[in-house]
Amino acid sequence: MSIETLVQQADLSSTAFNKENFDEVVMSTYGRFPIALEKGAGCRLWDTEGKEYLDFVAGIATCTLGHAHPAMIEAVTQQIQKIHHVSNLYYIPEQGELARWIVDNSCADKVFFCNSGAEANEAAIKLARKYAHTVLDIDNPIILTANASFHGRTLATITATGQPKYQKNFNPLVPGFNYVPYNDIDAVEAAIGELDEGNYAVGAIMLEPLQGEGGIRPGDVKYFQKLRSICDETGILLIFDEVQVGMGRSGKLWGYENLGIEPDVLTSAKGLGGGVPIGAMMTKKFCNVLQAGEHASTFGGNPFACAVATTVCHTLEKENILQNVCDRGEQLREGLRNIAAKYPQHIAEVRGWGLINGMELQADIQLNAIDVVKAAMSEGLLLVPAGAKVVRFVPPLIVTEAEVNTALQIIDKVMTQMKG
């Protein structure tokens, strides 16, 4: 059954939803928009009042194959009837199959599975610290991360995140992190020199190939290639957080492929499971230092999540989805740049890779990303901010030419309204 057929056959009957009942029992850790989504098919979503939306959020770059994809439905149905969870005290064939696909299709040699991007980054941080202690002989290793980065919401990963707003009121933070400007190689070299004092030294550098939450900022090729050379010369581990940009979203399977280098360690989550929770920390053989008992996850690598993720991976290949990402990404950026040319007083820049793109608003105007997002939502298009001034476009990777055109028409209409 095709996605088009799924959309046509979608059950559009809605159910009653009470926001007050929800808020009474669910913690208010999210600033939620005032709609409740209950059905999806392809790149379309419907709320509890029956209104249809074009989804350019995809669970924030997570629903790789959109909603109710036939391949995922089949994988979920088959696996839940077979076995859904056992302990990692036993061999799990589905886990091995997914790990083999990742190793065969990346620069990694080994994989550790968990349940989210933050967990994957936690695993990478632990690996980096042990490597620094046992291989680099650093008593107090420091991990460099970038200003405006985002690596998760756990205590260690908000410390790694170079944005003070995420750290407020959660001190004392985890020691052993230092921040440098993104795409600034001089700052990296200076930090490595300044922090190498006594029993302190930089043991790892952890970066996003493209900063997502920091405003959709692609990495500079020359910067990253020089960074790779520095790490090769010093023995410092290079870690890439590919939670948002990996799994085909950039038009390449992995973000690092856009930069012409390979990291020593990389992390994935979001799009890996297509919306089913899974995370992965992947490493090259030489820095595979974690041993039995040093890291673990009850749910990590369970048969259910791994079977679905493997299906997502195979579907990317089978349906040639990376080509669609490149084509639709070019179409989207060209369209957004045409809109930006019509409204130069409002739009400063359009940038991105593949189907992770940002439209930055002018800094000196009152209009913010959230204003555009709310106006687009009222017109039936779901978007999400990436900071105060950047509107983020991260649709499912199966988005069609017609759907991109519809999104562009809505953005043009919204900007016309904002101009007025």
Report the alpha-carbon angle 212-218-220, nearest 5: 145
- Nearest to 206, CA basis, from 265, 287, 247, 249: 265
Which of 150, 224, 304, 393 does the annotation list as catalytic? 150
CA–CA distance, 107 with 71 (Å, rounded to integer) = 27
Is 270 a residue of the active site? Answer: yes
Dmax over CA atoms of the chain, in Å, equals 67
Is 150 a residue of the active site? Answer: yes
Which of 130, 270, 389, 393 does the annotation list as catalytic? 270
* Region at 337 (left for phi over 0; alpha for psi -120 to 50; beta for the rest): alpha
CA–CA distance, 238 with 19 (Å, rounded to integer) = 45
Q: How close are the terminal C-alpha atoms of the chain, in Å? A: 44
* Run of H or E residues at 266: strand 265-268
Q: For the chain, how many residues are written?
A: 420
Which of 241, 252, 264, 389 does the annotation list as catalytic? 241
- Rg of the chain taking only CA atoms, in angstroms: 22
Residues 6 or more apart whose CB falls under 8 angstroms from that of 315 comprise: 65, 69, 71, 72, 321
Active site residues: 150, 241, 270
